[in-house]
A and B are shown apart, each in its own frame.
Chain A
Amino acid sequence: MESWRRNPLVFWVINLPPSLWLLFFFLIPLGLIWIFSFGEKRGVVDIEITWTLANYLRAMDPLYLQIFAKSLWFTAITTLLCLAVGFPIAFGISFAPAKWKPWLLLAIILPFWTNLLIRTYALIAVLRTRGYVNFTLEWFWDQGNWLLALLGLGQYQLLGAQFEALPLLYNNFAVVFGLVYVHLPFTVLPLYAALERMDSSYIEASLDLGAGQFRTFFTVVVPLAKAGIISAVIITFIPALGSFLTPDLLGGTDSQMIANVIERQFKSANDWPFGAALSFILMYATFFALALRALLARGSSSMEAA
């Protein structure tokens, strides 16, 4: 850094192009959307900037607040499930033999290499009424019936008169399931990084002092991985809150999230000012969460420093 200050030409040659890119393609468009959010729709493409707060007031309508609340709820459950599933996975990988680690990590990252849309359609094929989960369940149902018939209990129809497919798709369950599936790698990777860095002698010391595996996990491993857990929560929560493809394709009529509403404003409803206002409310909520995190981190910085 110091040498760059002494040689400003090099600094600007390297940093000017990305700075300009960020300015023109990120900050300026973002500023435009912010300005739109104070505008009024005049025609099909005309927006007049009147600095009205009407769009923000409209977003406070219970209808939209409810969708905001539902989005937060879905995202919170998703983040918790990702943690519950991702922590054991990350823990397992960090203690796997060294030659396996790259392959296990690859298995976690691999879904990223496939388009989200394709992955979501694949999930539809798995979850739908005539999907693989229900096929498997039906197979078990058939086997069960066959076994019962063999035992001479066939006539009682203990497993029901016919196979009832589970409603796994186009509901809230499908949305949360899909969100967990999509965001799991975001949770696993920061957790893995934190656990991998952890000195294994902390775990050994805990065992040595008489603690069992479970106590060691909850009193030593989890607290020491706290920084990684916070990162994992943020990095999972933020993109999950803005999801629109997953609820759009997997959800039912009542499982839309706020991003679906925003998308509709910009496309079918053609109400850019309102869509912009909703976008910024979502962003402010995210900033609030980050500020909260920073505040929490400051409270425990003495722990993480060690």
Chain B
Amino acid sequence: MTESAGIGGAGGKPIISIREVSKIFGGAVTAVDDVSLDIHEGEFFALLGPSGCGKTTLLRMLAGFEIPSLGQVLLDGQSLDGVPPNKRPINMVFQSYAVFPHMSVFDNVAYGLKITGVDKAETMARVDEALELVKLGGFGGRRPDQLSGGQRQRVALARALVKRPRVLLLDEPLSALDAKLREAMQLELVRLRETVGITFVIVTHDQAEALSMANRIAVMESGKVRQVAGPAELYEYPNCRFVADFIGKMNLFEGRVTGLAGNQITVQVEGLGEVTLPAVEQAEGEVGIAVRPEKLRLDREDPGAGRIAFRGRVSEVAYYGDTSNIFITDAAGRAVSANIQNEARRTDSHVAVGDDLWCSWDPQDTLVLTG
């Protein structure tokens, strides 16, 4: 696997090393299954996967709330075995924020500093600085029940950041916010990470969130890490059917490799016939042929040689304003989705249900999935 050269210094020394970690609950349920990962200094790292994939359990093992059944977690090369949560230089923003309702905003943020015996003047200065950082300057005297959900989350962020942790963990931090606020907060978290320079590890089930914020993403499924890559690589070069399907939308065809010649392979695909594609390592036997909806082109005429094409009928048009999603059903009854930009201003669709069209794409945009 090639590592993407992300913005946040991927390829630096690992700050967290997860080594062959498994977590088995009650001797029966394997929540995390033999995961090995390196998270680098200064990264914005995302653990992405559907609910129940083990991403939160993995995060809780970094915080110290769960103990790995097998394997170990290293921080700066030192094992975290037997180190309780309150002794780890790692802080967490909880999904429910867990802002103490019986303390003022100031006391919440100062809580972690009082414990470590930071003197009064410094506590004041650091709490004010942390509140400024999350744009809550002047909110110190408020009580949590006088704050909105978004503001409470900022308190949770300030409370964790004020401790100047080596790593900040965020458990589904945006899931409770409405869509507009979530978008604004995504940008703000990225800006915040750049300001403080602390390594962020975020857990999310929202692929758009992970792609827009993180500079490296680990996609998890049933306790296993399927792929670790930067956002663009993950989107354009998913390494298996699960990742291809989970990240964005994907049209998937099943095929069989029939020949390998130089740097090209031929694949017999049901409904498309024999197609020639750029060669992929270890592609033999049954393979998945995948193409993103936005890579498809719709034509009235045969697009000609050099493109993979089939003829089908428009079965559905979903209009989103900026784009439209066109579903084309081929002769075999399979629906393929094409995403087209609505570039020119018009109120009628130039593609209507029932139209017979050519649907084609560049072989270079085709993915051959073996996993």
Contact = CB atoms under 8 A, between A and B. Distances in A.
A39 to B, nearest CB: 51
Nearest to B145: A306
Contacts of B115: 209-211, 215
Give chain A's interface residue range (CB within 8 Å of chain B).
20 to 34
Listed from nearest, the 8 A-B pairs whose CB atoms lie closest are A306-B101, A209-B112, A205-B98, A306-B145, A201-B98, A223-B102, A210-B115, A207-B85
Contacts of B87: 210
Contacts, number: 72
Interface of B: 63-65, 84-87, 90-92, 94-96, 98, 100-102, 111-112, 115-116, 143-145, 156, 159-160, 163
Given A302-B145, A306-B144, A207 B100 contact: no
A210 B102 contact: no
Interface string A202-233: 10111111111001000110011010000000
A210 B163 contact: yes
Given A209-B91, A210-B163, 11 more contacts: A202-B98, A204-B94, A205-B92, A207-B86, A208-B63, A208-B90, A209-B86, A211-B112, A219-B111, A303-B143, A306-B101
Contacts of A212: 86
A222 to B, nearest CB: 10
B86 A208 contact: yes
A44 interface: no
Contacts of B85: 204, 207-208
Contacts of A205: 92, 94, 98, 100, 156, 159
For the residues of A in contact with B, the DSSP-based class is: helix
A305 B87 CA distance: 32
A219 B112 CA distance: 12
Contacts of A209: 86, 91, 111-112, 115, 159-160, 163
Nearest to A219: B111
Contacts of B159: 205, 209
Nearest to A209: B112
A46 interface: no
Contact of A224 (B86, B94, B102, B163): B102
